[in-house]
A and B are shown apart, each in its own frame.
Chain A
């Protein structure tokens, strides 16, 4: 009898804490917007997936679906992954936000993690990296290496993420050279090597001697290499495409984050969170430095890195003026995350129109 009561109590305890049960093995699904490739956004997520597989061995099996269109198809793919018994599903593009939320409602026991979005739910966590922090650092390096004081920025779409990148790069650049200009060309595509090449060439023709980008292909780095100027890679290390040109790259790193979230699901301790990791967590960082960067510049950048990581320095700290000269962040203030999340202006020093 005593025994029975004990079992009952135990099973009760188990049922009430449903969703917090530790598991021996789990399945983790990943939804990618493009092919996994060898560079770029999806590549960094797939690297993290491989990291998870290696780390957990038999305990975790992973599935990925690549090139999933962001329209009506994505909801079906996410739901299929859920139906097939995945315990944790990472959806890695902004356009998956509403589909993820919809599927999550139907599958309350499955955990979802959506990258770059802003909608959270009980079983949907949101994550992204503060890439603007490394963008700021890359701007500092670019400024030290530039002679013409004109940088070229090949940009994809005028969404907050990209605007933060352009602005942070510009602010970093101007922190060294206050009169510098950053020219922006929009290619209206995340991935089009030919067009990115043309855009880079046209920026170089207009005097830019450092090229950076917020697009996925390594073509801008190649353009810089061909023209004998410098480039800063984006998303992942692109030094392979321009041994001399590639100064460094601004890198996403989701390895540790994915590992942590998977561990939490295994332990039964996962909770929905809004994670925006910066230099402090290593979710974003600079890549290897090119040998041509002087020692003292690297030392400077290292100091800045610690300052940003500790919160002592904020790339968007006031006073911050937009292109029209209006104050966007008053002196002495630091913008809220919610403000950064919906940034819709270009800062003073950027040449080129918003969208």
Chain B
């Protein structure tokens, strides 16, 4: 049997090495999984983890894939630290993309230097406004933010469908549900030639620096932490709870909106019904895997992006079905989550003692 003993202090060693242990366990499991499926295990693992980033292009693609996940996850981490269960990054991202497009299509033939910044700002405002609805409903109408954000995701998706089939549809696009292609001046500049690595990377770096500074250096960051751990203590200390809650929701909405804007003005270059393959949901996992810390989130996001790309590569190179990717991702996440236990606990193995009634009563008397 297994027993957990709490450590007096979190183990500094395992804080850094538990993810490594998880990856090792995943690799071992993957080895047997692929062998059982009749695939050469080492080669398949290589295809999954190394090949996607074995060249410059692959590396930049990994970043491109991770940009929207990270932008969403930084914001979510703020919310989760304050114990605000915002599941709505997906919807905020979609609305960000729609608002950005609404501006971008005004600049299709223009070379104005304002086109790109305005598009991005519109996206941020859109995401912020969408999160603002949740904040309003939570603070003024007492509704639970988890439920509201889940519903708002579905509503946002329908708003997206409505706008690509309606007001934002490309007038010259044969009535297909797509916006016009954005003009050059609206697109985010490419950072590395012949890749898709775009200015969104800069947004990620800025967001990274800002959230880290905010969390560790500012009083508001500290207040949020307190609010999340013990709302009554926050109340006693006289923190302006409503203000804090509204702030984390609005900031995370703005970041998710920025992610949406960066997608439509970045790699996609127009509004389409599928601007997000679930970035907002992936970001929730990433936020938790990264232990709500910007550094952890960044690493977790890159890992998450890598296993998505590995899944594509496994289909191309090894002919594995898409479902294997899901199984493999799930396993890896389970391991990552499980391994964190050794940071806070010592794992002791022991032989189970069989309790007879007399022993139980003896124990009770103690």
Contacts and interface: CB of A to CB of B under 8 A. Distances in A.
- The answer on A and B forming one complex is yes
Interface stretch (B100-108, B141-149, B262-270): B262-270
B276 to A, nearest CB: 7
Contact of A84 (B64, B174, B308, B317): B317
A80 B312 contact: yes
Contacts of A72: 64-65, 196, 263, 266-268, 275
Contacts of A69: 274, 277
Contacts of B176: 94, 118, 159-160
B29 interface: no
Interface string A91-111: 000110010000000100000
B38 interface: no
Interface in A301-347: 341-344
B232 interface: no
Interface in B169-205: 174-178, 181, 194, 196
B174 A71 contact: no
Interface stretch (A58-66, A136-144, A285-293): A58-66
Contacts, number: 88
B237 interface: no
Interface residues of A, number: 35
A177 to B, nearest CB: 29
Contacts of A84: 316-317
Contacts of B319: 63
B273 A67 contact: no
A81 B316 contact: yes
A192 interface: no
A355 interface: yes
A355 B166 contact: yes
A273 interface: no
Contact of B161 (A94, A160, A188): A188
Residue in A64, A67, A84 with the greatest tally of chain B CB atoms within 10 Å: A67
B317 A71 contact: no
B196 A342 contact: no
Contacts of A344: 175
Contacts of A76: 61, 64-65, 196, 309, 312
A254 B322 CA distance: 23
Interface in B146-166: 158, 161, 165-166
B321 interface: yes
A268 B176 CA distance: 33
Nearest to A81: B316
B218 to A, nearest CB: 34
Contact of B274 (A29, A71, A75, A160): A71
Nearest to B319: A63
B272 interface: yes
A217 B190 CA distance: 41
B313 to A, nearest CB: 7
B315 interface: yes
Contacts of B316: 29, 63, 65, 77, 80-81, 84
Interface of B: 57, 61, 64-65, 158, 161, 165-166, 174-178, 181, 194, 196, 263, 266-270, 272-277, 308-309, 312-313, 315-317, 319, 321-322
Interface of A: 29, 35, 63-73, 75-77, 80-81, 83-84, 94-95, 98, 106, 118, 157-160, 188, 341-344, 355
Across the A-B interface, give the 6 residue pairs with the lowest CB-CB distance, nearest first: A69-B277, A342-B174, A72-B267, A70-B274, A344-B175, A65-B315
22 contacts: A63-B316, A64-B315, A65-B316, A66-B315, A69-B277, A71-B275, A71-B277, A72-B64, A72-B275, A77-B312, A77-B316, A80-B312, A80-B313, A94-B176, A95-B272, A95-B274, A118-B176, A157-B273, A158-B165, A159-B176, A160-B176, A188-B161
Given A63-B319, A71-B263, A76-B65, 12 more contacts: A69-B277, A71-B268, A71-B277, A72-B196, A76-B196, A76-B309, A80-B312, A80-B316, A84-B317, A95-B273, A158-B165, A159-B176
